[in-house]
Structure 1
Amino acid sequence: MVTYILRRLLLIVPTLLGVLVINFAVIQFVPGGPVEQLMAQLTNKENSLGSGQGARALTPAQVGEIKAMYGFDKPAPERFWQMLKQYAQFDLGKSFLQRKDVWGLIKEKLPVSITLGLWTFFISYLVAVPLGVLKAVRAGSRFDLVSTVLILVGYAIPGFVLGVALLVVFGGQLQWFPLRGLVSSGWDDLTWGARIVDYLWHITLPVTAMVLGSFAVTAMLTKNAFLEEIRKQYVLTARAKGLSERQVLWKHVFRNALIPIVTGFPAAFISAFFAGSLLIETLFSLDGLGLLSYESVIRRDYPVVLGTLYLFTLIGLVTKLVSDLCYVWVDPRVKFD
């Protein structure tokens, strides 16, 4: 086990390096970077003040100053090596546009993503797992058929499309829920009870739009895992010994059937914070990590793009290792030899 963990930890380094190399190389060929954007802004500003004298380009000295300001006066390999040294010290650099540390921006946006992620994770599992167990126990019944159709229909609807529909119907026409934001403008002046109600009022639509996809996957995975275990020989043996159906289900089937679900907990928990919320945050004007990543890519804020990519990739690789180790914790028969 120790050897396996050390080997996996060592493999994180080349994997992380490969991800950074590929994305850094792609960035070098993407047009419209921060240098070009600032040059265009300065050129337009000078032309607007030039009283119709014609377009005037920036001088080579001015262009050199702009490149030096963003660090683009150095060769790409040197910039990449300097970036790696910063990342080794967990220094993610400073945003080109907002002039803030990337760490500071992530901490600033993280509460919104944590809010959406926690609600999505807990609602998905607390509802989907019992529903999956019930569908497995009553497999082939009308309840199983109807619930499967509803789950698959819901899963087929993208979260963003559902979010638009929820906004139009419940936010626009019926005006039952707010259209944007996580809390109301006068939230600080409310009592604690009113704050909780206002907060739940705001997150109802975005959480509903995010839960649908993960809810469907978890419910069907639970059902299939339980069906597979129910049909095994040890279940027939337990029933032949006179155990009740409840004892067979919860004492024998439950632990084995939950292996694929429990081992997916770490990845599902982390991904709920850092993935899948980009469109939802944009749609509902929630200032979280998803919206930060989207705006950084659109505006070519490379330190934020690469910094968040480095952090999220590292978290993803460590989470994958934890998920694999959970197999041993849940099922001691699993070996990593």
Structure 2
Amino acid sequence: MLAYILRRLLLIIPTMLGILLINFIIIQAAPGGPVEQMIAKLEGFDAASGGATGRISGGGGEVSVAGSNYRGAQGLDPELIEEIERMYGFDKPAPERFWIMLKNYLHLDFGVSFFRDAKVTDLIVEKMPVSISLGLWSTLIMYLVSIPLGIAKATRHGSTFDVWTSSAIIVGYAIPAFLFAILLIVLFAGGSYLDWFPLKGLTSNNFDELSLGGKILDYFWHLVLPVTALVIGNFATLTLLTKNSFLDEINKQYVITARAKGLTERRVLYGHVFRNAMLLIIAGFPAAFIGIFFTGSLLIEVIFSLDGLGLMSFEAAINRDYPVVFGTLFIFTLVGLLVKLIGDITYTLVDPRIDFENREG
């Protein structure tokens, strides 16, 4: 197992390099980069005002701007354009920029945001509590609801309970989480009916003045609606996966043999079926966690005014804020690969018969 873990950790390096390289090449080909945006901004401003004097900043540097830089139909002074490219680091060829980025990432230096005037590391740390809160609690509650419900549906397959819960699952599967979020706001956040829950932020304005118990209650009070929307919008797939996995195991020969030996139904279910059926569910945990943690909560963050990593990454991609784009991509990919490895290791904890060292045999 140790050798397998070591190989997986070593494979993370070329995987990360490949992902960063592919995205770097795509971004180089995409129009509307930070240099083009700044040039268009200066040309539009100078054309409207007849010239401007001052300094512009971005990418950790700044350049001076004078009214004589804009030359009508000829555009900006080439020297100013070169200075802007130097400010954003585009005065170097693409391979050299990629190599510099990799060297900085080895020291966990993700650079400075082009448009937020802050280090990417500081921005990620600042936004992390929102994403961790949404991802952690949503995934935990989703598994606590879906696994028992899926087992109950499997053991009562074809019953009235199975039919009615399947109807609820179909509704949850058909309606996306952000629509449930809007419905919850209308019903419980002062939209049209009740005003029980807050509509904005992760904590109240007087959070620092509250006691420890008050802070905990305030924190969960703000999380009720967004977490509920995420759970309702994502529990259907996991519930059906659990049910189908248990049904597949229940119909196998070893279960019939265990029943023939006189074992109780509970002993058969949790002593034999559970371990085998849970393998598929464990395999899906990393994708479920990472999906909600980084991407699934984007619209929820927007609707409930939660400034997290999903919203920051989306805005960075729209604004071509490359340090933030690559910094978050690096963090997201690294966490995803590590969580996937943890999921594989958990296989052996659930079923010790699994041996990754002899998987070829």
| TM-score normalised to structure 2 length | 0.86
Code of the residue aligned with 2:225 in structure 1: it is L
Contact 1:117–1:269 (CA under 8 A) maintained in structure 2:
yes
CA–CA distance in 2 between the matches of 1:196 and 1:267?
A: 29
Code of the residue aligned with 1:32 in structure 2: it is G
Give the aligned partner of residue 290 of structure 1. 310
Give the aligned partner of residue 39 of structure 1. 39
Give the aligned partner of residue 192 of structure 2. 173
CA–CA distance in 2 between the matches of 1:88 and 1:195?
A: 37
Alignment of 1:66 with 2:78, yes or no, is no
Give the aligned partner of residue 132 of structure 2. 114
Alignment of 1:332 with 2:323, yes or no, is no
Q: Deviations over 1:228-281 (max 9, x none)?
A: 222122222222222222222222222222222234444444444223111111
Q: Deviations over 1:193-230 (max 9, x none)?
A: 44333333322221111112431122112211221222
Match of 2:327 among 298, 307, 319: 307
CA–CA distance in 1 between the matches of 2:164 and 2:81?
A: 65
Give the aligned partner of residue 212 of structure 1. 232
CA RMSD of aligned residues (A): 2.3
Give the aligned partner of residue 29 of structure 1. 29
Residue 16 (structure 1) shift:
1.7
Secondary structure at 2:19 match in 1: helix
Give the aligned partner of residue 89 of structure 1. 107
Code of the residue aligned with 1:109 in structure 2: it is K
Within 5 Å, which residues of 2 pair with 1:193-204? 193-204=213-224
Code of the residue aligned with 2:85 in structure 1: it is K
Single out whichever of 276-285 and 288-297 deviates more from structure 2. 276-285
Single out whichever of 11-20 and 109-118 deviates more from structure 2. 11-20
Single out whichever of 90-99 and 159-168 deviates more from structure 2. 159-168
CA–CA distance in 1 between the matches of 2:71 and 2:199?
A: 44
Q: Deviations over 1:96-136 (max 9, x none)?
A: 11122211111110001111112101111111111111111
CA–CA distance in 1 between the matches of 2:29 and 2:290?
A: 32
Alignment of 1:125 with 2:143, yes or no, is yes
Give the aligned partner of residue 20 of structure 1. 20
CA–CA distance in 2 between the matches of 1:9 and 1:182?
A: 35
CA–CA distance in 2 between the matches of 1:105 and 1:199?
A: 21
Give the aligned partner of residue 261 of structure 1. 281
Contact 1:136–1:224 (CA under 8 A) maintained in structure 2:
yes
Single out whichever of 101-110 and 249-258 deviates more from structure 2. 249-258
Q: Deviations over 1:139-162 (max 9, x none)?
A: 110000110121121111111222
Code of the residue aligned with 1:125 in structure 2: it is Y
Code of the residue aligned with 1:166 in structure 2: it is L
Residue 284 (structure 1) shift:
1.3
Secondary structure at 1:182 match in 2: coil
Code of the residue aligned with 1:20 in structure 2: it is L
CA–CA distance in 2 between the matches of 1:114 and 1:208?
A: 15
- Shift of the 89–195 alpha-carbon distance from structure 1 to 2, 3 Å rule, reads closer
Contact 1:133–1:223 (CA under 8 A) maintained in structure 2:
yes
CA–CA distance in 2 between the matches of 1:195 and 1:88?
A: 37
Single out whichever of 103-112 and 266-275 deviates more from structure 2. 266-275
Contact 1:267–1:323 (CA under 8 A) maintained in structure 2:
no
Give the aligned partner of residue 100 of structure 1. 118
Give the aligned partner of residue 55 of structure 2. none
Structure 1 residue runs of 4+, over 6 Å off? none
Q: Deviations over 1:150-184 (max 9, x none)?
A: 11211111112222232234331123333222222
Contact 1:34–1:300 (CA under 8 A) maintained in structure 2:
yes
Contact 2:20–2:330 (CA under 8 A) maintained in structure 1:
yes
Consecutive unaligned residues in structure 1, runs of 5 or more: none
Contact 2:146–2:236 (CA under 8 A) maintained in structure 1:
yes
Code of the residue aligned with 2:30 in structure 1: it is V
CA–CA distance in 1 between the matches of 2:264 and 2:350?
A: 24
CA–CA distance in 1 between the matches of 2:280 and 2:49?
A: 65
- Shift of the 321–199 alpha-carbon distance from structure 1 to 2, 3 Å rule, reads closer
Give the aligned partner of residue 299 of structure 2. 279
Secondary structure at 2:296 match in 1: coil
- Shift of the 192–329 alpha-carbon distance from structure 1 to 2, 3 Å rule, reads closer
Secondary structure at 1:275 match in 2: helix
Residue 294 (structure 1) shift:
0.8
Consecutive unaligned residues in structure 2, runs of 5 or more: 52-66
| TM-score normalised to structure 1 length | 0.92
Aligned positions, number: 337
Give the aligned partner of residue 221 of structure 1. 241
